[in-house]
Amino acid sequence: MSLLKTTNVVKRFGGLVAVNKMTFSVDEGRIVSIIGPNGAGKTTFFNTLTGIYTPEEGQIQFKDHTLIGLRPDQVAATGIARTFQNIRLFGSMTVIENIMVGMHIRLKQGAIDTIFRSKKFNEEENEAEQIAKGLMEYVGLKNVGNELARNLPYGGQRRIEIARALAASPTLLLLDEPTAGMNPNETEEAIKLFRRIRDERDITILLIEHDMRVVMNISEHISVMDYGEKIAEGSPQEIRSNQRVIEAYLGRGAAVAHEQKA
Partner 1 sequence: MDTFFSNLFKKANTGFWPVAIALAFLLVGTFSVYESPRSLGAFLILMTTPLILYFMKMNMKIKVFIGLLLIIVILPVLGIRNIFYLEVIFQMAVFAALALGLNIVVGMAGLLDLGYVAFYAVGAYAWAIFGSKQLSLLHSIPGAAPANAPFALDPKWFWLFIFLGVGLAAFTGILLGLPVLRVKGDYLAIVTLGFGEVVRVLALNLDKPINLTNGPQGITPIQRPPLPPEPIMQFFRNILAPFVGHVPTDAEFYNVFFYFLALIIIAIAILVATRLEDSRIGRAWTAIREDETAAIAMGIPLVKMKLAAFAAGASFAGAMGALYAANRTFVSPETFSFLQSIGVLTMVILGGLGSIPGVIFGAAAVVLLNIQILQNFSLYLSELRQGDTVIPIINFAWKDLSNQLDPAKYQKLVFGLILILMMIFRPSGLIPAERRKRELVEEKE
Query: Measured on CA atoms in the order 164, 170, 176, 179, is the torsion positive or negative?
Result: positive
Q: How far is the CB of 238 from partner 1 (least distance, A)?
A: 32
Distance CA 212, CA 146 (A): 36
| CA count, 13 A, side-chain hemisphere, 214 | 30
Q: How far is the CB of 74 from partner 1 (least distance, A)?
A: 8
Q: How far is the CB of 101 from partner 1 (least distance, A)?
A: 5
Which is nearer to partner 1, 78 or 219 (by Cβ)?
78
Q: How far is the CB of 6 from partner 1 (least distance, A)?
A: 18
| Pairing state between β 172-176 and 204-208 | parallel
Which is nearer to partner 1, 86 or 185 (by Cβ)?
86
Distances (CA, A) of 25 to 63, 65, 72, 261: 11, 14, 20, 34
Which is nearer to partner 1, 119 or 142 (by Cβ)?
142
Q: How far is the CB of 148 from partner 1 (least distance, A)?
A: 7
Longest dimension (CA), the chain: 75
Which is nearer to partner 1, 137 or 238 (by Cβ)?
137
User: Letter for the amino acid at 211?
Assistant: D
Which is nearer to partner 1, 125 or 220 (by Cβ)?
125
Mapping DSSP to helix (H, G, I), strand (E, B) and coil, where does residue 238 land?
helix
Distance CA 137, CA 123 (A): 21
Distance CA 259, CA 254 (A): 9
Q: How far is the CB of 65 from partner 1 (least distance, A)?
A: 14
Which is nearer to partner 1, 104 or 196 (by Cβ)?
104
CB 19, CB 11: distance < 8 Å: yes
Query: Measured on CA atoms in the order 106, 103, 207, 29, is the torsion positive or negative?
Result: negative
In the complex, which residues of this chain contact partner 1 (CB under 8 A)? 50, 52, 71-73, 76-77, 81-82, 84, 88-94, 96-97, 100-105, 107, 109, 111, 114-115, 117, 121, 125, 129, 133, 142-143, 145-146, 148, 164, 168
